[in-house]
Amino acid sequence: MAVLAGGETNPDVSLLYDINGIAKDAPNWADRTMEFLGEYGILFGLAVLMLCAWWSVRKSKDAPAGTAALLWSPLAAGIALLINVPIRGFVRRPRPFLDHQGLEVLVKGKTDFSFVSDHATLTMALGVGLFVANRKYGLIGIGLALLEGFCRVYMGVHYPTDVVGGLALGTAVTLLLAPLAMMLLTPLTRWVAGTRRAGWLVRAGDAPAPIVPAATVGDAGGAGHELRVQDRDLAA
């Protein structure tokens, strides 16, 4: 465990050395793989998941709501990254390799502040947003976000607490603002679903009949009857 001045121990730094130490003992191809995954690969994987989830929710009963949730996912990630800008400027934590010797740094040129991790924030916001739209793809997305966090520490460019902070920020922004986002985006996707040219973007041609909101419809005798539909969990 890392020992600070005065004999105090720092588990954050110790865990950094333990995880980054794997990079020192790993073969070069393994380090290059982790570097690619941590910088670009996992983000590409999440983009593919988004496409797969979109193709799936188009075939669901409430396709407009599912599509709205998918639209919210990258928007939430963008908002979380914007919120992180003042956080980084306030905390002003240097990258770990600037304060600690002997780290195996796989990516050079990182000169901005360390807390919180942009990559962890972005990937977790996307993963949680996917979970709101589709549980199966969302669980895979959250797993990729956790792997992203591990990669950032493995690469020597973030402390473990940088990653934890990013995962928490991405989750909080996505879930806390989701009700408002769904309220604004769902009417838009329902409108698009009803158009001839762009409707396929929201609902597949062989999708089940859409969920109809409860309404009162007058019959021929003037007496009304209420159309009832059962609530459906958004996450398929």
Three-state SS sequence of 139-183: HHHHHHHHHHHHHHHHCCCCCHHHHHHHHHHHHHHHHHCHHHHHH
In this predicted structure, what is the pLDDT of residue 209? 54
Dihedral pair phi/psi, residue 217, rounded to 5°: -120, 130
DSSP SS3 for 194: coil
In this predicted structure, what is the pLDDT of residue 25? 86
From 111, 109, 124, select the one nearest 43 (Cα to Cα).
124
DSSP category for residue 211: P
In this predicted structure, what is the pLDDT of residue 205? 67
Please list the rounded mean pLDDT of every run of 10 residues in the chain (236 residues).
52 91 90 92 95 90 90 96 94 90 86 92 96 93 96 94 96 96 93 87 68 46 38 44
- What does each C-alpha distance from 12 to 18, 43, 62, 158 come to in angstroms? 10, 26, 45, 10
In this predicted structure, what is the pLDDT of residue 213? 52
